[in-house]
Amino acid sequence: MSAPDLYAVFGNPIAHSRSPAIHAAFAAATGEDLRYEARLAPLAGFAGAIAEFVAAGGRGANVTVPFKEEACRLSNRLSERAARAGAVNTLTFSDGEICGDNTDGVGLVQDIAGNLGFPLSGRRILLLGAGGAARGAIAPLLAAKPASLHIANRSADKALALADLFADIAPVTTSNFAELTGKCFDLVINATSASLAGENLPLPEDLFAAGALAYDMMYGKGETPFLHWARIQGAARRADGLGMLVEQAAEAFRIWRGKRPDTAPVLAELRRQLTS
């Protein structure tokens, strides 16, 4: 019997990653024979860790904080969406080549439009943040043909620089948070890392249109600070990023194995574990 194909997620820290459990569930459900591990890469040793993994027969890897930009530079070939994102979360190793892709943005759109049943076409979207997480979301959001996309960031110049990278796809407007006053959106996505520092975003009142969805890329036990604020503000619907996590994993699994697993039971089980 041959050994199962080997995959891993690389990050630092990595101990709490849910990716091994998610991919084990996908493999069991699709009958794929693979092993998927969590691997801690030294902060200054990501390339070496990948080289070692490839030499040991690794077939593919997911990449998480803080290595996504480095994984982009390490790739010999990049998908269009990874090049747009400037970041890679999915590596495939074949014939001596490192192919980089980014499934975060499509995972986000799949969670919102698919799982949450909130179609994006014709919607007014507000994206909060202008870092790597926001950048990965922009092209997939624009591909869904919203009425408009506005990026707001603490430092407005970063939002403007980010919007410029996508100007050839569609116009994207930008501002700081205070300048959002008087504006109204159907979908507000938090792609900042403010809550990691326990900080709230200084957002104006009345951002949410009737029936609006507040989406936080973060997730955790209980309500995130952004979703707490959104509830007080009267956002009709609210969702955290657990579904995005599962959907980006499903897209990586499809790239590697050619099968897209059913995400609903895996998401339900993760939700149960998170809330119990």
Q: Which is nearer to ligand ATR, 67 or 118 (CB)?
A: 67
Quote the least distance from Cβ 217 to ligand ATR, whole Å: 8
Which residues are at the interface with ligand ATR (CB under 6 A)?
129-134, 153-155, 158, 192-194, 197, 199, 201
Q: Which is nearer to ligand ATR, 78 or 138 (CB)?
A: 138
Quote the least distance from Cβ 113 to ligand ATR, whole Å: 22
68 is catalytic: yes
The residue of the chain with the least Cβ separation from ligand ATR equals 131
Q: Which is nearer to ligand ATR, 132 or 243 (CB)?
A: 132
Q: Which is nearer to ligand ATR, 84 or 257 (CB)?
A: 84
For residues 235 and 71, what is the distance between their CA atoms, to the nearest angstrom? Answer: 37
Quote the least distance from Cβ 144 to ligand ATR, whole Å: 20
CB 20 within 8 A of CB 73: no
Quote the least distance from Cβ 25 to ligand ATR, whole Å: 26
Active site residues: 68
